Structure 1
């Protein structure tokens, strides 16, 4: 309708324009032009009416088609709703039929149950009557037996129970013994199998530790510098390190001899620095030895950390890591202590895995089981008890603490891994070639010699050199006089003679020196 109005307006406008134009043309031109304008306006008006009628018919046709499609969709929806209603009614009818059928079956079962109940009641009455008759017959039979046997029913019952009890007890003891023997046999076989498999899966790498180290030289001329004038350099090295330097005819070599591998390593590294530097005199020797000791402390920590990482033992306290590193420079019966601990840890991990236990915890206990052999200070406790005390101090698991303290039966074993640590320690130490008893006895004698001298007041250091044939005691000049030094040397010698057993003779040398140091700035 809007378009029709537009077309009418256009026609009117065009007609007005034609009339107006005609008037102008009439005024200017001729009457013919006015007629042409009127004809053109009428033609435009007719075209507008035609277009308006055509557009109106098209809109009416579209409206009828839309109405027809909407009617069809509505009828479809109504049909679907009707179908759903019919289906719902059918389902409800089916459910009603099912419920009616169930009700009928339930009534039938109730009637059958009532019939069964009546039959059971009748049968129960019959059974009760027969039971009463049986009890009467049994009582009469028991009275007759009592007359014949001369025993009451209670006495006979007691005798029967006692006889059965004794027989059962005897059988139980026999069966228990058989089970225990069988379990022991199987346990021994299984234990041997696990131990053999563990040993086979672990390869030993180390050899027995020696008490000497050979220091190689570029030429024999350096020997003179190491000895020094009147032997002062070699005496300074021996006093600072506690290591015996043997300078003999061996070409291009000096032998470092000491029972303590840590001292030998300090002496070796110090000599290496001194020879490379070329400045060898007592003051320089002491300075280099102190630097080497600090460097070796860092190396000890690095060895401990690397060992823990390689074995997969994490979270160790720094002090425990340092003790593990110090094991590298200790030996037990000639067997390197760190290698022994690593081997024990690997054995423990394998054995724990075979037994279905925690291999990481077993490895941890195996690595730490001998930390009591590398304490900072000597104590009267055994290395097992001291190791347990140190592990407890630094926050180790109670199972690890118990395993360390009990691996030589000095504590009661409270955890399952404790006997595993003990067995693996024995496996590592008892294998052929692992240890040397004579070597350990010698080392212990040297340690006792040094500890005896260090027990006196005023003693700063004590070193056993010359394979234990000489004891050098360094005293503090402020606490011990020259006269007291002679007396101290005599007392130590007498105490060694009365308390210790040793081959040959031991020379006791007490060294006292006073140093005055000032710095010019």
Structure 2
């Protein structure tokens, strides 16, 4: 047999066996699938049966719940009906009780009306009686009702003023003591802290520069310019980091004035070198001397003093740049001359020597660094050197003696100089202006109700007010003083502290026959 036939014969049994195996397997799978379908159907039927049973139970439960709710609602309706019946019974009882109360209230109202009428009649009777008593009281007391009320009101007001014034006085005294202690401490601290600054302000003068670049030109090469300026003027030139300012320091106000004018001219001219500095200082010194001489001549002419030596006029002019205790010495000398003239006229003395001596009483201040001795001694020496009269010299010598003046002129001059030095503001104002200011203080006091007289004392530092005791009571004095103080603070052109004294005096005069 050929190999092909042999292969085919061997393949046929295999195919038959494979077909049988596949067929058997397919039958087994079909049976298995049928069983699974049958199980699924049975499971589905069981599930549907369970669902139907659960639905049946749920419907039954809901029906039971609704029945219970209906039963509860029926019971609640029955209870409400019973409660309404009870309320209706109670309302009927309350209505009956209210009707009885209304009847009782009506009877009480009628009784109250009768009592009110009776009380009204009693009130009318009492008012009539009160009018009779008031008329009788006015007849006995001699005062009407309004007058009595006004008198009582005034007495109460006076008592209140007295108590308020006493309390205010106590508070003021306590406040003044505390203020005095605090001010003393503050003044001590201020003097300690700022004493150096005050000295610096008195002995220095500032020069403002257009640009800080000028500081280098003022110093010059190797400091030649500043050394030349200091030698020519006798002042110290202080150049520091302060922008736009240099400081001129010297104890002499004349030197500072010359240095300030010379530096101003040099800065304006722009040419700063030793030769130009010396020329500028020389020109400024001559110009300042002429200006001071002119001021001295104007001062002498202002008070009518003639025939003064040129050197004395120079010294008078130099007084205009001297400050002592914050007061310009030339103004102070002019004020002393005016006061001496007025005092001499009041005493029927010759005013010329008094006025002349008072004007020259301070010229020693302008030369005290050139001569030895006190200001008064230097003044006498200068007056004697420049040919003043014996009366003027005697008056000036009286200012140097500790035992007091020996001549009438000396008394007048000494009194005038003390007044000029002590009166606030006298150096800067004319006598007429001062008198007007004092009269204004008196007028302010006289404007107050009940003020009889007012006197200004101590050159305007004290005002004494006399009141009418019939119009101003004791309790109103403090209030009046406070009003005057506020008025002076608000309106017066005052200089320094002004004390207000209010005096109430009662005088009784009888005549013995």
TM-score (norm 1): 0.40
TM-score (normalised: structure 2): 0.41
